[in-house]
Amino acid sequence: MAGNSQAISQITIEHGWAQLDVDGPGTSTVFLTIRNETDADDYLLAVDSDLATSTMIHDAKKRPIPFGLVIPGYNRVVMEPKGFHVLLSGVSKSVATAELLPVRVVLRDAGSLDFSVPLVSQ
């Protein structure tokens, strides 16, 4: 997904990637850039993966954002190390040998989108 983008409605998700074991064994962190090309705010509710037992959107201080991350109208949110990110826990051991991590991005208004992000070594 690095270098390309996927779109749902008028929301574009680009520059996605994941990093394994940033917070300990069995964890992964997902980073994305989300562009909202509408005049209305939307909310990122979840970034799920079948290869993890749980996921949670976090802020820069690693605090959960339980009600969704606002994606402002005509703006973008960049998830990056030491910033907003998605923490995946209980990540399957099979991910360690994979090149791509399948994820589903869930937005309040635009809906959901399935795609894969490349796994990047620390």
For 98, the 3-state DSSP assignment is coil
Render pLDDT for 18-70 as a digit per residue (tens, 0 to 9): 998 766 678 999 999 999 999 999 999 999 999 999 999 999 999 999 999 99
Render pLDDT for 85-104 as a digit per residue (tens, 0 to 9): 999 999 988 887 789 999 99
Q: What percent of the chain is helix, strand and coil (3-state, nearest 5)?
A: 5, 55, 40
CA–CA gap between residue 31 and residue 82 (Å, rounded):
11
CATH of domain 5-94+101-108: 2.60.40.1890
CA–CA gap between residue 108 and residue 111 (Å, rounded):
6
CA–CA gap between residue 69 and residue 23 (Å, rounded):
21
Nearest Cα to 122, choosing from 2, 32, 19?
19
pTM surpassing 0.75? yes
